[in-house]
Amino acid sequence: MPLTCRGRVRGLEPSRGDVDDALGKFSLTLIDTLDTLALLNKTAEFEKAVRRVVTDVRLDNDIVVSVFETNIRVLGGLLGGHSMAVMLKESGRMLWYQDELLHMAKDLGLRLLPAFNTSSGLPYPRVNLRFGVRGPETRTGTETDTCTACAGTIILEFAALSRFTGDPTFEAHARRALDFLWEKRQRNSNLVGTTINIHSGEWVRRDSGVGAGIDSYYEYLLKAYILLGDDQFLQRFNTHYASIMKYISQPPLLLDVHIHKPLLPARTWMDSLLAFFPGLQVLKGDIRPAIETHEMLYQVTKKHNFLPEAFTTDFRVHWAQHPLRPEFAESTYFLYKATRDPYYLEVGRTILENLNRFARVPCGFAAMKDVRTGSHEDRMDSFFLAEMFKYLFLLFAEEEDLPFNVEDYIFTTEAHLLPLSLSTASNSQAQNNKTDIFKICQKELDDSNFEWTCPNTRLLFPDPAFPRNLREPIRSAVDKSYPGMGRPPLRAQDFMANNPEHLELLRRMGVSLIHLKDGRVQLVQHATQAVSAVAAEDGMRFMQEMMELSSQQQKEQLPPRAVQIISPPFFGRVVLTAGPAQFGMDLSKSSSGVRGFVTIAEPYNGCSVLSNGEIVAGRIALLQRGQCMFAEKARHIQKAGAIGGIVIDDNEGSSSDTAPLFQMAGDGRNTDDVTLPLLFLFHKEGNILLEALKEYREVEVLLSDKARDRGEMLSETEYEKMLIFEEGGTQEKDHTSPASSEPVHQSQVTIQEQTTDDSGVGPESVQPAEGLGSYVPVAVGEEPAVDGDHSSQSVDSLMADWEEDLEAFKQMEKDEL
């Protein structure tokens, strides 16, 4: 779990459904990565990992796991690790190793065997590692269906286990399952379905392709021939392959069909698991369609940085997830091995750079929740380390970088390394059927031999430009099918509500912009109003990005801030409740706040370079909300030399007592360059400040996290001026009243009463309470009474009103939630 920086333990984390069946409390990632460490020449780490597996991993857990996933990841990982340990021991290292991993592999194989106890020989999809499949304690054994790949991707691991241990039982069960699938193929089309009933052999899902549900069945037929030398596997593979190329392959596409009506498409989209198929075609020796399909996949990858989990025939996103699947990198490696075309090194570089740029996080690589938005999922599957690292390393490695000759091994579907020497091991049922492929290669190449050997690509493609000529039409076809991809679509973090080009892009995507009375902007999408299906999809992505951006900003709730007017005749008695910004200077970490005279920025919206920069320099700029992002306003006034900024709401009538606390978000980019404080005032509170500036011309304020006591805020001279002013009482009223005749709303200001002691703010001082605003109703410049019952009654009355407003505000928050 690379985002939360801990391992995923089944039962401790919320269930993710079937995907958790790969987890069996057997240190999945550790085992799946063993031979990766060996291949990357991390011998010390490999030895340490092997010791940890032998010492710490238990297999007799009372837990239900996927037979398929446990076979390819754990059994395959143990066998691959054993192969590497034996290789190292033969070279004089790891001399302590006594086949411990192999013993664990046999133990696991025996725990998987009960799943094969069916009339057909097809395994149950799940098994309890301790109790098998029968009985209530197993919590499994009631399933009736399994996928073709689930039953047909057993032979390599089970055959290797049999030949390593001399026990033919495992290979026999895997062969029986393959035989049954072969018998149940559709005899006219020679295709297999996706899901089959393990008891009756009836096809449950009759769609056929080379992606999810079937993929590794075809892979294991060919690789079983390579590893075991049994001609029967190659004959079956060639029969299936001819049908695939006849019905499913529509270069560069690979589209599912119905097994009984193979000329009828079963769907209009492709899943990302089929990306392994060009690599399999390389092993088969059919290079041309491998180049074409791989190029199509590469162009789709370049559009979205990663291959979406599924995409349509016109190359739009169908399922937006990407769990860091390695199949495309696998095919890239095999094509480079076959052609030595440096183009595929560039493809590999693209894969590598995108992983580092978009998926890398402090604790690993995070799966993409949506390739369109770049959002992450707290998931890094074990196959990422088991496969992706191997294939990328091998793609770029020189021969001297490799600790052994990989040509002596075959890769399982999980990229585990099994030695080809197993083909000569004893206790194999296939001994008498073996074909010496090396003798065949010495014969003259005719059509019959072409079916049995991998052709020399230099004979097939004498012109080095031939692969490039194959790729160009594919690239053009993808671009034409995905119009508008010449420039990237509008991203939520880039959106500017005052940018005419952005508004036009919204219109094309079917997104409407509605200005609400409270000053906020609402986005609504109607896909039917988009100019095209692609634009509608871009609109959906944009809306999803906006929601995620908004959700992220709401999580970062900050407490309110204070704007305190400290120049005469206010002397800090007027405190305006202000909303914070999620960027810029953090006033809560400043003991003194930021103090300065205010001035109105020109232009007032602050959305361009200020024309009165020389006046704004060294002052706190007043800005109007709207027309551009808050961070953009902050950058413009900061560039002009301002020491702070106050954004005033342009929505007339808005006030902190009728609206929740407003906080200003960034623009989706890095805002570390903004170092000044920026605060937000609703319209009524902002109007107090503007009227004061209009009346007195020079108005000084303090921006802080909370209102400060006047005794510690004012200098000695200022304090004396304040005392002189207060002695004048209401005689100064005409000079201190703002020009506006509109009464000040109750929640607009807080008046701090000066106390007679030196302890700071006294009991009659009203401060913002728990971030819910400021509530004492006194007109700006008007002197509150300080003596006698009148003062006491006034404050009591105000406090009662304040408490009433506070309750109303709390109720409003509950209603909003």
Which positions are catalytic?
Answer: 69, 215, 309, 327
CA atoms lying within 13 Å on the CB side of residue 489? 24
Mark out the alpha helices in 27-154 (DSSP H runs).
28-32, 34-39, 43-56, 67-69, 76-90, 100-112, 148-152
Q: Please state, in angstroms and rounded to a whole number, the distance separating the CA atoms of residues 333 and 279.
A: 8
DSSP SS3 for 703: strand
DSSP annotation of 111 reads H
Q: b vs e for 71-83, b when ≥16 Cβ sit within 10 Å of the residue's Cβ?
A: bbbbbbbbbbbbb
- Residues 201-213 as b or e (16 or more Cβ within 10 Å = b): eebebbbbbbbbb
Instruction: Report the distance separating Cα 555 and Cα 547, nearest Å.
Output: 12
Residues 51 and 387 sit within 8 Å (Cβ to Cβ): no
Phi, psi of 348 (to 5 degrees): -60, -40
Q: Is 413 annotated as a binding residue?
A: yes
**Residue type at 501?**
E
Between CA 603 and CA 149 the distance in angstroms is: 66
Which DSSP helix (H) or strand (E) runs through 469? Answer: helix 466-481
- Cα 692 from chain centroid (whole Å): 50
Exposed, middle or buried: residue 235 (CB in 10 Å: 0-12, 13-18, 19+)?
middle
The secondary element (H helix, E strand) that includes residue 407 is none
H or E element: which one contains 649? none
| Alpha carbon distance 813, 805 (integer Å) | 12
Q: Are β-strands 203-205 and 207-208 bridged in parallel, bridged antiparallel, or unpaired?
A: unpaired
Residue 94: helix, strand or coil by DSSP? Answer: coil
User: For residue 92, is it left (φ>0), alpha (ψ between -120 and 50) or beta?
Assistant: left
Closest by Cα among 245, 209, 102, 88 to 162: 102
SS3 260: coil
Token pair listed for 212: 């999810």
Exposure of 350 by Cβ count < 10 A (0-12 exposed, 13-18 middle, 19+ buried)?
A: middle
Other beta carbons less than 10 A from residue 669's beta carbon: 12
| Helix ranges restricted to H, 598-741 | 613-616, 630-639, 683-696, 710-713, 716-728, 733-736
Residue numbering of the annotated binding site: 413
List, as residue ranges, the binding site for Ca(2+). Answer: 413
